[in-house]
Chains A and B, each alone.
Chain A
């Protein structure tokens, strides 16, 4: 067999070793062309013109220059109050959500509720709630209950109930059956099974999740004020509107510090909870 014949034979046996097929190459080229066309269209459509970008960047540089040094301004009491309000909103919202999500979690768990249709539709409802962002809830509640922290608390609670309930349901489904069977064998009813068979197993997990949500909610509570739902977000959007950039920088730094502090505390608490479980 000559060299060329040998190559042809091997090519027939393992085509993959000889580089992509012509069809594959053409498809890859078409894919890249489509991607570049989309990228070009998107950049053009959203107005990524060099001139506009340059103007924006110079504007941004001016803003950054005005941000230094950060200063609390005249109304630093308001800023601290807003910050405290944000943390309180996050705490209350998470607390309410965790409270409501506890029974919902049991309803959504496959080893508690055996009706598949009911469980399936409940899970889809949870998914639907998750698709709506917290800010949308905040805006809706501002229209419903008026400006202020109450709207923020309700928004945080509503947005988190569904996610927490889903996580709780998963934790309950992963719980061990033996304790539940033991309660049944000892003559315990349905509620006794839930209370003494399942709850002690899943409570630390649920608490850890609630803490985790509290952490993430301190971040989101800080921005709910942008739509009027109370907290530090209101202060920051007001100051951006009147272009007091040094105060904006001060508030951002304060927000970052608060979030870091709460993360630290909550991470320690969570480790202790999970470790003790």
Chain B
């Protein structure tokens, strides 16, 4: 049967590519979760208005700066040496960069909250940690969540290319087919990546609007 030029011929490895894409999306999700979690912990000492101490505050701010100015790919190149080839290095690299980028945004949104609830908890005898948890976190949680979702969209794009340096995901496959000049496969994978990115963008935009709606 003549199949050349048909859709089935073009997408003949759809099952393995779909799995790789699924894996890439999971890498992005896990990295976003880990990065945003670390950013959440670091944002409170990094915020200028909570009085985290004259040593701790600048130190955490510099740490976040260092984490976000170094590109993920550079982290990935180094982590591939340390943790071995595979998605583990990619997830950690994206998570580290995410922690820096989200930490700054989180700290800014903490700096923009009113300190009334904070003063209330502190004057009732709450510790610094308790005040962060019960006075600040409920106020900023929706905006932090929406930043994290936005970051997830960005991380999906990075996860799709981080495989170029051997750090897992669909990037490895793409690197392979581009270097072998398999043009049909290149276009097929690119199409799948674009579709996945658009789908997740739409989904996450909906979610973000809902989160922001809950805030108001």
* Residues of A in contact with B (beta carbons under 8 Å apart): 39, 42-43, 45-48, 52-53, 55-57, 59-60, 63, 127-128, 131-133, 135-136, 139-140, 143, 219-220, 222-223, 226-227, 233, 236-237, 240, 243, 248, 252, 255-256, 259-260
Contact = CB atoms under 8 A, between A and B. Distances in A.
Interface string B19-50: 00001001101100100000000000000000
Closest 7 A/B residue pairs (Cβ)? A56-B83, A59-B82, A131-B194, A131-B197, A135-B161, A60-B82, A223-B73
Given A42-B26, A56-B84, A59-B82, A132 B71 contact: no
Contacts of B190: 132, 136
Interface in B73-121: 73-74, 77-79, 81-84, 86-88, 91-92
B185 to A, nearest CB: 13
B152 interface: no
Contact of B87 (A46, A127, A220, A252): A46
From A48, A127, A131, A143, name the one whose CB has the most chain B CB atoms within 10 angstroms: A131
B79 A56 contact: yes
A57 B71 CA distance: 20
B84 A133 contact: no
By secondary structure, the A interface counts as: helix
Given A131-B197, A143-B178, A226-B165, 15 more contacts: A39-B30, A39-B33, A42-B29, A52-B84, A56-B92, A60-B82, A128-B194, A135-B161, A139-B164, A140-B186, A143-B179, A227-B164, A237-B165, A252-B70, A252-B74
B181 to A, nearest CB: 7
A48 B77 CA distance: 18
B148 interface: no
B7 to A, nearest CB: 19
Contacts of B136: none
Contacts of A131: 157, 193-194, 197-198
B69 interface: yes
Interface in B157-189: 157-158, 160-161, 164-165, 168, 174-175, 178-179, 181, 186
A243 B78 CA distance: 10
A236 B88 contact: no
B186 A226 contact: no
A256 B82 contact: no
Contacts of A222: 71
Contacts of B179: 143
Contacts of B198: 127-128, 131
B158 A133 contact: yes
Nearest to B76: A226
Interface residues of B, number: 42
Contacts of A57: 82
Contacts of A136: 160-161, 174, 190, 193
B70 A139 contact: no
A256 B70 contact: yes
A47 B174 CA distance: 22
A192 to B, nearest CB: 38
A75 B27 CA distance: 37
Contacts of B181: 143
7 contacts: A43-B30, A131-B197, A140-B186, A223-B73, A240-B78, A252-B74, A256-B69
Nearest to B189: A136
Given A45-B26, A226-B164, A63 B175 contact: no
A122 B137 CA distance: 42
A52 B164 contact: no
B93 to A, nearest CB: 12
Contact of A223 (B71, B88, B168, B197): B71
A46 B77 contact: no
Contacts of B71: 219-220, 222-223
Contacts of A47: 86-88
Contacts of A42: 26, 29-30
Contacts of B77: 226, 236-237, 240
A131 B33 CA distance: 22
B70 A56 contact: no
Contacts of B82: 56-57, 59-60, 63
A253 to B, nearest CB: 10
A274 B179 CA distance: 44
Nearest to A129: B194
